[in-house]
Amino acid sequence: MIAVDVDGTLVGTGNIVLPEVWAALARARDAGMRVVLCSGRPAVGHALKYARRLDPDGWHVFQNGASIVKVDTGESVSEELPPELLLKLVEDARRSGRILEVYTDTKYAVEDTSAPSVDHAALLGVPFAPRDLLSLPGTVVRAQWLVPAGDKAAVMAEATPGLQRHPALSPVMPGILFVSITRDGVNKGSALRRVAALYNLTLDRVMMVGDGHNDVTAMEVVGYPVAMGNADPEALAASRFQVGHVDAGGLAQAAQMAMEL
C-alpha cells in the first residue's frame, strides 16, 4: 500500500498534479497496490477527486486522520472533536479575530471573509460560503486555524488538553500556516493503522510519502517512510528514503520505488 499526502507531495505549486505522477501511481495500482490519499484536506472538492482517481473503490484518509472514507460508497469512520473543546476553539477565534474553520466529514464552516479564507475555499475546490462556526449539521471531526506562517510557534504553544495539533503548509498558499486540530491521539498515523487493517496488511508493507510535520505520525508507523525533496526538517528526520521535489515529479519516483522493493 502507498499512502500519499496532497499539498507538497501530490500537488505542487500551481495546484496541479504532474501527468507523470498520475501515470506512475496508476501503474502501481495496476500492479496490485492500494493507493491511499492521506491528507489534511476534507473529503470534498479537489481532494475527493484525487482520491477517486487514485483508488476509486478504496479507503482514503482525510482531515489528518479524523475522517477515513470509502469513496465509492461514502462509508466513513470518523473521530469526533469533543463538543466542549470545539466550543472553546470557537470562543477563542471570535475573541482573537483569527481564522478558524470547522469540519464534518464533507462540509465546513468559516465565519471570516478575508482573502485567506476565500483563497482556501478555492484551494479546496469548493464555493466560498461563510457561515456560523457552530451551524454545521452532523458530527464535527476537526477544526483548523489559518494563521501567518510566522505565528507557528505562538499557535503551537497554545496546546489544549484533549486536542492534537498538526501544522502544515501548502505551496499554493505560501505564507499561510494551516494548524489542523483533532481529538488527542487522532492523526495520520492512527488512520493508516486502521486502513492497513481494513486491507489485512501489516504496516511493514506500507509506504508513506509526505513533506510536512503532519505527515510524521504516519511516517513513523510504516515500513517505508519517504520524504519529498521539498520536505521540512521534521519529515526528513522521520524518513528512510528521499525523492525529488514535488514540482520535479518526486512522487513518481516514490511510486516506482514501491514497485521495485
pLDDT digits (tens, 9 = 90+) for 149-176: 999 999 999 878 999 998 998 988 999 9
pLDDT band at 205 (very low <50, low <70, confident <90, very high): very high
Angstrom distances, CA of residue 70 to CA of 140, 204, 211, 248: 18, 22, 24, 30
CA pair distance 220, 217, nearest whole angstrom: 5
- The per-residue pLDDT for 102 is 97
- pLDDT exceeds 90 at position 258: yes
Domain ranges of the chain: 2-78+186-260, 83-183
Instruction: Quote the percentage of the chain above a pLDDT of 70.
Output: 100
- Mean pLDDT for all residues in the chain: 95
Contact 209, 226 (CB under 8 A): yes
Contact 78, 67 (CB under 8 A): yes
- The per-residue pLDDT for 261 is 85
- The per-residue pLDDT for 61 is 97
The tens digit of pLDDT for each residue in 107-132 reads 999 999 999 999 999 999 999 999 99
Nearest partner of 225 among 237, 245, 240, judged by Cα: 240
Query: Dmax over Cα atoms in the chain, in whole Å?
Result: 53
pLDDT band at 20 (very low <50, low <70, confident <90, very high): very high
- The per-residue pLDDT for 75 is 92
CA pair distance 138, 160, nearest whole angstrom: 23
pLDDT band at 70 (very low <50, low <70, confident <90, very high): very high
**Who contacts 32 (Cβ-Cβ below 8 Å, separation ≥6)?**
none
CA pair distance 126, 131, nearest whole angstrom: 14
CATH number for 83-183 (one of 3.20.20.120, 1.10.287.1400, 3.30.1240.10, 1.20.120.160): it is: 3.30.1240.10
Region 63-67: mean pLDDT is: 93
**Who contacts 195 (Cβ-Cβ below 8 Å, separation ≥6)?**
1, 3, 36, 59, 61, 68
CATH of domain 2-78+186-260: 3.40.50.1000
Instruction: Quote the percentage of the chain above a pLDDT of 90.
Output: 90
222 backbone dihedrals φ, ψ, rounded to 5°: -95, 165
Nearest partner of 209 among 166, 250, 165, 260, judged by Cα: 250
- pLDDT exceeds 90 at position 78: no
